[in-house]
């Protein structure tokens, strides 16, 4: 069992976390060093500044880095990606690290999180590939190839914030849990109003994370109407 730790102690890494780190480094050898530096940022500044819970340090690779990095399997080459509600940079920064062909925009409304993201981008040497936009998703005027989100909001509400940022023909990739299929069923009407096609539940990361990452994928077929419009 992992140790929860007390103030000032470093939580003991879970055995699964060590295994997943090894697998992720092997899958993306050119990105291994940068992934390690990002993990160190999350385990230090990320915890101190309240972006990552202290207990998460013991499972950073298995629950956060790898779970997000493998999303790249669903992202076309050379895509412009917007990561909405990026928080500590998940999944946007792992995507950028393992896929240098992508340009990633991290959209984050809270100042302290946006500040951390800017510092992380600089520390990781990603300034030519990643930019940080501080503000709410609804305020952004973007037309990207792929929108990502790892928010806990229900899919119908999440789509209202994210799908309008995708160009027609672009895709929303929402990281979800075991209830993904139920959310897809419940959000059909909202997705249709936003111009989205039929949502589908897909997985990625087999051989790296177990269970694989669950993702709801929605293609924006028409312009629809932005949330709040008449």
**pLDDT tens digits, 142-178:** 999 999 999 778 999 999 999 999 999 999 999 999 8
Q: Is residue 7's pLDDT more than 50?
A: no
Give the closest residue to 25 by CA, choosing from 74, 65, 72, 56: 65
Classified by CATH at the fold level, domain 71-219 comes out as: Rossmann fold (3.40.50)
What is the pLDDT at residue 11? 72
> With left for phi above 0 and alpha for psi between -120 and 50, is residue 129 left, alpha or beta?
alpha
61-91 pLDDT tens trace:
999 999 999 999 999 999 999 999 999 999 9
How would you write 102-167 as a 3-class SS string? CEEEEEECCHHHHHHHHHHHHHCCCCCCEEEEECCHHHCCCCEEEEEECCCCCHHHHHHHHHHHEE
Residues 6 or more apart whose Cβ sits within 8 Å of residue 137: 84, 85, 107, 161, 162, 165
What pLDDT does 169 receive? 97
pTM for the complete prediction? 0.91
54 or 226, which is more confident: 54
Taking the domains of the chain in order of start, what are their residue ranges? 71-219
| Token pair of 117 as six digits | 């993201």
Region 83-112: mean pLDDT is 97
Which pLDDT score, from 0 to 100, does residue 9 have? 58
Q: What is the DSSP letter of 222?
A: S
Closest C-alpha to 13, from 65, 50, 48, 51: 65
């Amino acid at each position: 069992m992992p140790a929860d730790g007390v103030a000032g102690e470093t939580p003991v890494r879970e055995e699964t976390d060590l295994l997943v780190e090894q697998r992720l480094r092997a899958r993306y050898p050119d990105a291994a060093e940068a992934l390690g530096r990002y993990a160190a940022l999350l385990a230090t500044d990320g915890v101190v500044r309240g972006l990552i819970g202290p207990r998460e340090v013991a499972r950073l690779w298995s629950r956060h880095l790898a779970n997000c990095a493998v999303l790249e399997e669903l992202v076309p080459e050379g895509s412009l990606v917007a990561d909405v509600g990026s928080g500590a940079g998940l999944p946007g920064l792992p995507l950028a690290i393992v896929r240098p062909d992508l340009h990633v925009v991290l959209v984050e409304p809270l100042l302290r999180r946006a500040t951390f993201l800017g510092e992380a981008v600089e520390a990781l040497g990603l300034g030519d590939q990643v930019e940080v936009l501080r503000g709410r998703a609804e305020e952004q005027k973007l037309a990207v190839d792929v929108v990502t989100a790892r928010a806990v909001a229900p899919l119908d509400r999440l789509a209202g914030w994210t799908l309008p940022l995708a160009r027609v023909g672009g895709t929303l990739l929402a990281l979800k849990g075991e209830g993904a299929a139920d959310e897809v069923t419940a959000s059909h009407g909202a997705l249709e109003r936003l111009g989205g096609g039929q949502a589908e539940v897909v997985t990625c990361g087999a051989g790296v994370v177990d269970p694989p990452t669950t993702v709801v994928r929605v293609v924006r077929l028409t312009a629809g109407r932005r949330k709040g419009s008449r």
